Amino acid sequence: MSSSSSTETGQSSAVALEEPPTDQAVITTRAVAEREAFPTQKPRTTAGLTVLIPAYNEAKFIADTIRSIREQTLQPDEIIVIDDRSSDGTGDIARSMGVRVLRPESNSGSKAGALNFGLKSVVTPYTLAIDADTSLAPDAIERLMKAANTGDLEQDDHIAGACGYVIPRHVNTIWERGRYIEYLFAFTIYKPIQDYYERPLIASGCFSVYRTDVLRRLGGWPHRTLAEDMDLTWNCYDAGYRIRFVPEAVCYPIEPHNFDFLRKQLRRWSRGFYQCVRVHWKTVLKTPYLRLIVAVGLWDSTVATLAFFVLLPLLCVLISPLFLLGYFIDLPAVLVPVMIKAHQRGEKLKALSSIPAFYVMRVVNGVFVLSAFWHEIIMRNRLKTFEKGH
Protein backbone atom coordinates (compact mmCIF):
# COMPACT_ATOMS: atom_id res chain seq x y z
CA MET A 1 0.00 0.00 0.00
CA SER A 2 1.34 3.44 -0.87
CA SER A 3 0.16 6.89 -0.01
CA SER A 4 1.29 10.48 -0.43
CA SER A 5 -0.84 11.95 2.32
CA SER A 6 0.54 12.63 5.80
CA THR A 7 -2.87 12.58 7.55
CA GLU A 8 -2.68 10.52 10.75
CA THR A 9 -5.18 7.78 11.42
CA GLY A 10 -7.67 7.98 14.24
CA GLN A 11 -9.14 11.36 13.39
CA SER A 12 -12.81 11.73 14.25
CA SER A 13 -13.67 12.64 10.67
CA ALA A 14 -12.58 9.25 9.33
CA VAL A 15 -15.48 6.80 9.39
CA ALA A 16 -16.04 3.53 7.56
CA LEU A 17 -18.75 3.28 4.96
CA GLU A 18 -19.79 0.10 6.73
CA GLU A 19 -20.49 -0.02 10.48
CA PRO A 20 -18.16 -2.34 12.47
CA PRO A 21 -19.54 -5.58 13.89
CA THR A 22 -20.58 -5.59 17.52
CA ASP A 23 -19.80 -9.18 18.47
CA GLN A 24 -18.68 -12.61 17.28
CA ALA A 25 -22.24 -13.60 16.29
CA VAL A 26 -22.24 -10.97 13.55
CA ILE A 27 -19.02 -12.38 12.09
CA THR A 28 -20.41 -15.91 12.22
CA THR A 29 -23.51 -14.80 10.30
CA ARG A 30 -21.33 -13.12 7.70
CA ALA A 31 -19.17 -16.25 7.38
CA VAL A 32 -22.27 -18.35 6.60
CA ALA A 33 -23.30 -15.84 3.94
CA GLU A 34 -19.82 -16.00 2.40
CA ARG A 35 -19.99 -19.79 2.20
CA GLU A 36 -23.33 -19.57 0.43
CA ALA A 37 -21.91 -17.02 -2.00
CA PHE A 38 -18.80 -19.16 -2.60
CA PRO A 39 -20.07 -22.77 -2.36
CA THR A 40 -16.85 -24.27 -3.73
CA GLN A 41 -14.65 -23.05 -0.89
CA LYS A 42 -13.68 -25.45 1.90
CA PRO A 43 -15.68 -25.58 5.15
CA ARG A 44 -14.56 -22.86 7.51
CA THR A 45 -12.43 -23.74 10.53
CA THR A 46 -12.70 -20.93 13.05
CA ALA A 47 -9.32 -19.56 14.07
CA GLY A 48 -10.47 -16.66 16.26
CA LEU A 49 -8.67 -14.55 13.71
CA THR A 50 -9.36 -11.49 11.58
CA VAL A 51 -7.18 -10.71 8.55
CA LEU A 52 -6.52 -7.04 7.82
CA ILE A 53 -5.37 -6.12 4.31
CA PRO A 54 -4.38 -2.44 3.90
CA ALA A 55 -4.70 -1.54 0.23
CA TYR A 56 -4.12 1.56 -1.86
CA ASN A 57 -4.37 1.08 -5.64
CA GLU A 58 -3.68 -2.66 -5.44
CA ALA A 59 -6.23 -3.79 -8.05
CA LYS A 60 -3.55 -5.81 -9.82
CA PHE A 61 -2.79 -7.98 -6.78
CA ILE A 62 -5.69 -7.91 -4.30
CA ALA A 63 -7.60 -10.83 -5.84
CA ASP A 64 -4.59 -13.15 -5.58
CA THR A 65 -4.09 -12.18 -1.96
CA ILE A 66 -7.73 -12.81 -1.01
CA ARG A 67 -7.80 -16.06 -2.96
CA SER A 68 -4.71 -17.35 -1.13
CA ILE A 69 -6.38 -16.60 2.20
CA ARG A 70 -9.58 -18.41 1.19
CA GLU A 71 -7.52 -21.49 0.31
CA GLN A 72 -5.89 -21.75 3.75
CA THR A 73 -6.04 -24.97 5.77
CA LEU A 74 -7.03 -22.81 8.75
CA GLN A 75 -9.59 -20.19 7.77
CA PRO A 76 -9.89 -16.79 9.47
CA ASP A 77 -13.21 -15.66 10.90
CA GLU A 78 -13.20 -12.56 8.76
CA ILE A 79 -11.19 -10.86 6.01
CA ILE A 80 -11.24 -7.06 6.04
CA VAL A 81 -9.78 -4.99 3.23
CA ILE A 82 -9.07 -1.37 4.13
CA ASP A 83 -9.46 0.39 0.80
CA ASP A 84 -7.48 3.54 1.57
CA ARG A 85 -9.25 5.75 -1.00
CA SER A 86 -7.96 3.79 -4.01
CA SER A 87 -8.65 5.17 -7.48
CA ASP A 88 -8.22 1.92 -9.43
CA GLY A 89 -11.18 -0.15 -8.23
CA THR A 90 -9.31 -2.08 -5.53
CA GLY A 91 -12.30 -1.95 -3.19
CA ASP A 92 -14.73 -3.10 -5.89
CA ILE A 93 -12.59 -6.14 -6.67
CA ALA A 94 -12.31 -7.07 -3.01
CA ARG A 95 -16.05 -6.57 -2.44
CA SER A 96 -16.86 -8.78 -5.43
CA MET A 97 -14.94 -11.60 -3.73
CA GLY A 98 -17.21 -11.49 -0.70
CA VAL A 99 -14.88 -9.90 1.85
CA ARG A 100 -15.66 -6.91 4.01
CA VAL A 101 -14.35 -3.60 2.67
CA LEU A 102 -13.81 -0.50 4.80
CA ARG A 103 -13.06 2.83 3.19
CA PRO A 104 -12.10 5.90 5.25
CA GLU A 105 -13.39 9.32 4.24
CA SER A 106 -9.84 10.42 3.41
CA ASN A 107 -6.54 8.70 2.71
CA SER A 108 -4.98 7.67 6.03
CA GLY A 109 -1.49 8.66 4.87
CA SER A 110 0.33 5.42 5.64
CA LYS A 111 0.05 1.67 5.95
CA ALA A 112 -0.08 2.06 9.74
CA GLY A 113 -2.99 4.46 9.42
CA ALA A 114 -4.98 2.04 7.29
CA LEU A 115 -4.27 -0.87 9.63
CA ASN A 116 -5.35 1.09 12.68
CA PHE A 117 -8.53 2.12 10.89
CA GLY A 118 -9.29 -1.55 10.30
CA LEU A 119 -8.29 -2.57 13.82
CA LYS A 120 -11.28 -0.68 15.21
CA SER A 121 -13.55 -3.23 13.51
CA VAL A 122 -11.79 -6.36 14.81
CA VAL A 123 -13.64 -8.41 17.46
CA THR A 124 -11.60 -11.63 17.32
CA PRO A 125 -8.76 -12.48 19.74
CA TYR A 126 -6.13 -12.41 16.99
CA THR A 127 -5.36 -10.02 14.15
CA LEU A 128 -3.26 -10.91 11.13
CA ALA A 129 -1.83 -8.19 8.91
CA ILE A 130 -0.92 -9.03 5.33
CA ASP A 131 0.10 -6.75 2.48
CA ALA A 132 -2.29 -6.51 -0.45
CA ASP A 133 0.40 -7.82 -2.82
CA THR A 134 1.33 -10.87 -0.73
CA SER A 135 0.15 -14.44 -1.31
CA LEU A 136 0.37 -17.26 1.22
CA ALA A 137 1.39 -20.89 1.14
CA PRO A 138 -1.78 -23.00 1.73
CA ASP A 139 -0.89 -23.80 5.36
CA ALA A 140 0.75 -20.48 6.23
CA ILE A 141 -1.92 -19.21 8.66
CA GLU A 142 -2.21 -22.54 10.45
CA ARG A 143 1.54 -22.72 10.92
CA LEU A 144 1.82 -19.08 11.96
CA MET A 145 -0.71 -19.66 14.73
CA LYS A 146 1.76 -22.17 16.13
CA ALA A 147 4.40 -20.05 17.80
CA ALA A 148 7.38 -22.22 16.90
CA ASN A 149 8.76 -24.31 19.77
CA THR A 150 6.58 -23.03 22.62
CA GLY A 151 3.24 -24.35 21.35
CA ASP A 152 0.07 -22.55 20.36
CA LEU A 153 -0.18 -18.79 20.61
CA GLU A 154 -3.21 -19.42 22.81
CA GLN A 155 -1.05 -21.19 25.40
CA ASP A 156 1.50 -18.45 26.12
CA ASP A 157 0.30 -15.01 27.20
CA HIS A 158 3.80 -13.59 26.93
CA ILE A 159 3.90 -14.05 23.16
CA ALA A 160 2.43 -11.00 21.46
CA GLY A 161 2.61 -12.40 17.96
CA ALA A 162 4.49 -14.34 15.32
CA CYS A 163 5.97 -13.74 11.88
CA GLY A 164 6.74 -16.04 8.98
CA TYR A 165 9.28 -16.79 6.24
CA VAL A 166 9.34 -14.39 3.29
CA ILE A 167 10.19 -15.39 -0.30
CA PRO A 168 9.72 -13.12 -3.35
CA ARG A 169 6.84 -14.31 -5.53
CA HIS A 170 8.71 -13.49 -8.74
CA VAL A 171 12.46 -13.97 -9.26
CA ASN A 172 13.20 -12.61 -12.72
CA THR A 173 14.85 -9.18 -12.76
CA ILE A 174 18.20 -8.36 -11.18
CA TRP A 175 16.46 -6.62 -8.27
CA GLU A 176 14.10 -9.53 -7.60
CA ARG A 177 17.03 -11.95 -7.74
CA GLY A 178 19.08 -9.84 -5.35
CA ARG A 179 16.20 -9.69 -2.89
CA TYR A 180 15.62 -13.43 -3.27
CA ILE A 181 19.17 -14.19 -2.08
CA GLU A 182 18.89 -11.60 0.70
CA TYR A 183 15.77 -13.31 2.03
CA LEU A 184 17.15 -16.84 1.70
CA PHE A 185 20.20 -15.79 3.69
CA ALA A 186 18.53 -13.61 6.32
CA PHE A 187 15.58 -15.92 7.03
CA THR A 188 17.84 -18.98 7.14
CA ILE A 189 20.66 -17.55 9.29
CA TYR A 190 19.67 -14.37 11.13
CA LYS A 191 16.00 -14.97 11.88
CA PRO A 192 16.41 -18.39 13.58
CA ILE A 193 19.14 -16.95 15.82
CA GLN A 194 16.89 -14.03 16.70
CA ASP A 195 14.02 -16.43 17.37
CA TYR A 196 16.20 -18.39 19.82
CA TYR A 197 16.18 -15.25 21.98
CA GLU A 198 12.53 -14.60 21.07
CA ARG A 199 13.55 -11.18 19.78
CA PRO A 200 13.33 -10.99 15.97
CA LEU A 201 14.60 -7.61 14.87
CA ILE A 202 11.35 -7.17 12.98
CA ALA A 203 8.08 -9.02 12.56
CA SER A 204 7.70 -8.50 8.83
CA GLY A 205 4.77 -6.26 8.04
CA CYS A 206 3.83 -8.25 4.95
CA PHE A 207 2.70 -11.24 7.07
CA SER A 208 2.46 -11.25 10.89
CA VAL A 209 -0.16 -12.13 13.49
CA TYR A 210 -0.75 -10.42 16.84
CA ARG A 211 -2.99 -10.71 19.86
CA THR A 212 -5.69 -8.12 19.33
CA ASP A 213 -5.70 -7.03 22.97
CA VAL A 214 -1.95 -6.41 22.86
CA LEU A 215 -2.31 -4.37 19.68
CA ARG A 216 -4.93 -2.18 21.32
CA ARG A 217 -2.94 -1.90 24.54
CA LEU A 218 0.06 -0.66 22.56
CA GLY A 219 -2.01 1.76 20.48
CA GLY A 220 -1.94 -0.29 17.29
CA TRP A 221 0.62 0.19 14.56
CA PRO A 222 2.78 3.29 15.21
CA HIS A 223 2.70 6.01 12.57
CA ARG A 224 5.60 8.04 14.01
CA THR A 225 8.13 6.20 11.80
CA LEU A 226 8.15 4.82 8.27
CA ALA A 227 8.90 1.34 9.63
CA GLU A 228 5.62 0.61 11.39
CA ASP A 229 6.36 -3.12 11.58
CA MET A 230 9.75 -2.67 13.26
CA ASP A 231 8.35 0.08 15.48
CA LEU A 232 5.51 -2.21 16.64
CA THR A 233 7.92 -5.12 17.19
CA TRP A 234 10.10 -3.01 19.48
CA ASN A 235 7.01 -1.66 21.25
CA CYS A 236 6.16 -5.27 22.11
CA TYR A 237 9.61 -5.85 23.61
CA ASP A 238 9.43 -2.64 25.60
CA ALA A 239 6.12 -3.86 27.08
CA GLY A 240 7.64 -7.22 28.08
CA TYR A 241 6.21 -9.36 25.28
CA ARG A 242 7.96 -11.77 22.93
CA ILE A 243 7.64 -12.39 19.19
CA ARG A 244 8.21 -15.75 17.53
CA PHE A 245 9.52 -16.58 14.07
CA VAL A 246 7.82 -19.52 12.34
CA PRO A 247 9.95 -20.56 9.33
CA GLU A 248 7.35 -23.07 8.13
CA ALA A 249 4.80 -20.27 7.57
CA VAL A 250 5.72 -18.97 4.11
CA CYS A 251 4.46 -15.88 2.30
CA TYR A 252 5.24 -14.57 -1.18
CA PRO A 253 5.20 -10.76 -1.58
CA ILE A 254 5.76 -8.84 -4.78
CA GLU A 255 9.29 -7.42 -4.61
CA PRO A 256 10.73 -4.53 -6.67
CA HIS A 257 11.05 -5.47 -10.32
CA ASN A 258 12.56 -2.15 -11.38
CA PHE A 259 14.83 0.46 -9.84
CA ASP A 260 12.08 3.02 -9.30
CA PHE A 261 10.14 0.62 -7.07
CA LEU A 262 13.36 -0.45 -5.35
CA ARG A 263 14.44 3.14 -4.74
CA LYS A 264 11.22 4.00 -2.94
CA GLN A 265 11.32 0.81 -0.88
CA LEU A 266 14.95 1.12 0.20
CA ARG A 267 14.54 4.78 1.00
CA ARG A 268 11.58 3.97 3.26
CA TRP A 269 13.23 0.94 4.88
CA SER A 270 16.60 2.58 5.60
CA ARG A 271 15.13 5.84 6.87
CA GLY A 272 12.56 3.91 8.91
CA PHE A 273 15.29 1.86 10.61
CA TYR A 274 17.14 4.93 11.86
CA GLN A 275 13.86 6.53 12.91
CA CYS A 276 13.15 3.47 15.06
CA VAL A 277 16.62 3.66 16.60
CA ARG A 278 16.01 7.28 17.55
CA VAL A 279 12.57 6.54 19.01
CA HIS A 280 13.52 3.34 20.87
CA TRP A 281 17.09 4.03 21.98
CA LYS A 282 16.21 3.54 25.66
CA THR A 283 14.56 0.19 24.94
CA VAL A 284 17.52 -0.85 22.81
CA LEU A 285 20.01 0.02 25.55
CA LYS A 286 18.19 -1.86 28.30
CA THR A 287 17.50 -5.02 26.24
CA PRO A 288 20.81 -6.95 25.94
CA TYR A 289 20.04 -9.02 22.85
CA LEU A 290 18.25 -6.19 21.03
CA ARG A 291 21.15 -3.92 21.91
CA LEU A 292 23.56 -6.39 20.33
CA ILE A 293 21.73 -6.90 17.04
CA VAL A 294 21.05 -3.16 16.63
CA ALA A 295 24.72 -2.41 17.34
CA VAL A 296 25.78 -4.98 14.75
CA GLY A 297 23.26 -3.52 12.32
CA LEU A 298 24.53 0.02 12.88
CA TRP A 299 28.14 -1.12 12.47
CA ASP A 300 27.35 -3.03 9.31
CA SER A 301 25.33 -0.17 7.84
CA THR A 302 27.89 2.56 8.57
CA VAL A 303 31.48 1.47 9.30
CA ALA A 304 31.39 -1.70 7.21
CA THR A 305 29.63 0.08 4.35
CA LEU A 306 32.19 2.89 4.36
CA ALA A 307 34.96 0.29 4.29
CA PHE A 308 33.23 -1.41 1.37
CA PHE A 309 32.92 1.81 -0.65
CA VAL A 310 35.99 3.78 0.46
CA LEU A 311 38.66 1.68 2.17
CA LEU A 312 38.80 -1.27 -0.23
CA PRO A 313 38.91 0.90 -3.39
CA LEU A 314 41.73 2.98 -1.87
CA LEU A 315 43.69 -0.14 -0.94
CA CYS A 316 43.21 -1.49 -4.46
CA VAL A 317 44.52 1.72 -6.03
CA LEU A 318 47.29 2.55 -3.56
CA ILE A 319 48.60 -0.91 -2.63
CA SER A 320 47.42 -3.86 -4.72
CA PRO A 321 44.51 -4.97 -6.92
CA LEU A 322 44.46 -8.13 -4.83
CA PHE A 323 42.38 -6.23 -2.29
CA LEU A 324 39.51 -6.69 -4.75
CA LEU A 325 39.24 -10.15 -3.24
CA GLY A 326 37.83 -8.45 -0.16
CA TYR A 327 34.57 -8.02 -2.01
CA PHE A 328 34.20 -11.77 -2.24
CA ILE A 329 35.75 -12.92 1.02
CA ASP A 330 32.34 -13.58 2.53
CA LEU A 331 31.06 -15.44 -0.53
CA PRO A 332 31.25 -18.91 1.13
CA ALA A 333 29.47 -17.58 4.23
CA VAL A 334 26.60 -16.42 2.01
CA LEU A 335 26.65 -19.21 -0.53
CA VAL A 336 26.54 -22.21 1.83
CA PRO A 337 23.33 -21.41 3.79
CA VAL A 338 21.65 -20.01 0.67
CA MET A 339 22.33 -23.15 -1.34
CA ILE A 340 21.24 -25.42 1.52
CA LYS A 341 17.90 -23.64 1.70
CA ALA A 342 17.62 -23.52 -2.09
CA HIS A 343 18.21 -27.28 -2.21
CA GLN A 344 15.39 -27.82 0.29
CA ARG A 345 13.11 -25.74 -1.91
CA GLY A 346 14.26 -27.38 -5.15
CA GLU A 347 15.65 -24.06 -6.42
CA LYS A 348 19.42 -24.63 -6.63
CA LEU A 349 19.80 -23.28 -10.19
CA LYS A 350 17.66 -20.25 -9.43
CA ALA A 351 19.73 -19.44 -6.33
CA LEU A 352 23.11 -20.00 -7.98
CA SER A 353 22.24 -17.80 -10.95
CA SER A 354 21.00 -15.06 -8.59
CA ILE A 355 24.20 -14.73 -6.52
CA PRO A 356 25.72 -11.97 -8.75
CA ALA A 357 22.53 -9.93 -8.30
CA PHE A 358 22.98 -10.17 -4.53
CA TYR A 359 26.28 -8.29 -4.76
CA VAL A 360 24.74 -5.63 -6.96
CA MET A 361 21.95 -5.28 -4.40
CA ARG A 362 24.51 -5.01 -1.61
CA VAL A 363 26.09 -1.98 -3.29
CA VAL A 364 22.71 -0.31 -3.80
CA ASN A 365 21.68 -1.06 -0.20
CA GLY A 366 24.90 0.52 1.05
CA VAL A 367 24.23 3.76 -0.81
CA PHE A 368 20.73 4.09 0.65
CA VAL A 369 21.83 3.14 4.18
CA LEU A 370 24.59 5.75 4.23
CA SER A 371 22.22 8.35 2.84
CA ALA A 372 19.65 7.47 5.53
CA PHE A 373 22.30 7.71 8.28
CA TRP A 374 23.32 11.15 7.04
CA HIS A 375 19.79 12.53 6.79
CA GLU A 376 18.16 10.92 9.83
CA ILE A 377 21.01 10.85 12.36
CA ILE A 378 23.45 13.58 11.33
CA MET A 379 21.15 16.17 9.74
CA ARG A 380 18.03 15.10 11.69
CA ASN A 381 15.97 15.62 8.54
CA ARG A 382 13.14 13.13 9.13
CA LEU A 383 11.40 11.60 6.11
CA LYS A 384 7.63 11.64 6.65
CA THR A 385 6.00 10.59 3.37
CA PHE A 386 5.09 6.91 3.00
CA GLU A 387 5.63 5.55 -0.52
CA LYS A 388 5.46 1.92 -1.57
CA GLY A 389 6.21 2.25 -5.24
CA HIS A 390 3.56 0.34 -7.23
How far apart CA 80 and CA 91 sit, in angstroms, is: 11
Question: CA–CA distance from 63 to each of 68, 70, 118 (Å)?
Answer: 9, 11, 19
Domain ranges of the chain: 24-255
pLDDT in tens, 34-93: 444 444 445 445 569 999 999 999 999 999 999 999 999 999 999 999 999 999 999 999
Residue 9 has pLDDT above 80, yes or no: no
Give the dihedral of Cα atoms 193, 194, 195, 196; nearest 10 deg: 50
CATH architecture of 24-255: Alpha-Beta Complex (3.90)
Q: To which H or E segment does residue 124 belong? A: none
At 58, phi and psi to the nearest 5? -115, 30
How far apart CA 344 and CA 165 sit, in angstroms, is: 14
pLDDT in tens, 153-192: 667 788 999 999 999 999 999 999 999 999 999 999 999 9
Q: Report the percent of the chain where pLDDT is more than 90.
A: 68
Question: How confident is the model at residue 122, as a pLDDT?
Answer: 98
Compute how many other C-beta atoms are within 10 angstroms of the C-beta atom of residue 329.
Answer: 8
End-to-end CA distance of the chain: 8
Output 323 or 351, whichever has higher pLDDT.
Answer: 351
320 Cβ contact list (under 8 Å, min separation 6):
none
pLDDT in tens, 235-270: 999 999 999 999 999 999 999 999 999 999 999 999
Q: What is this structure's pTM?
A: 0.85
Residues 323, 227: contact at Cβ < 8 Å? no
How far apart CA 79 and CA 58 sit, in angstroms, is: 16
Question: CA–CA distance from 380 to each of 275, 280, 290, 374 (Å)?
Answer: 10, 16, 23, 8
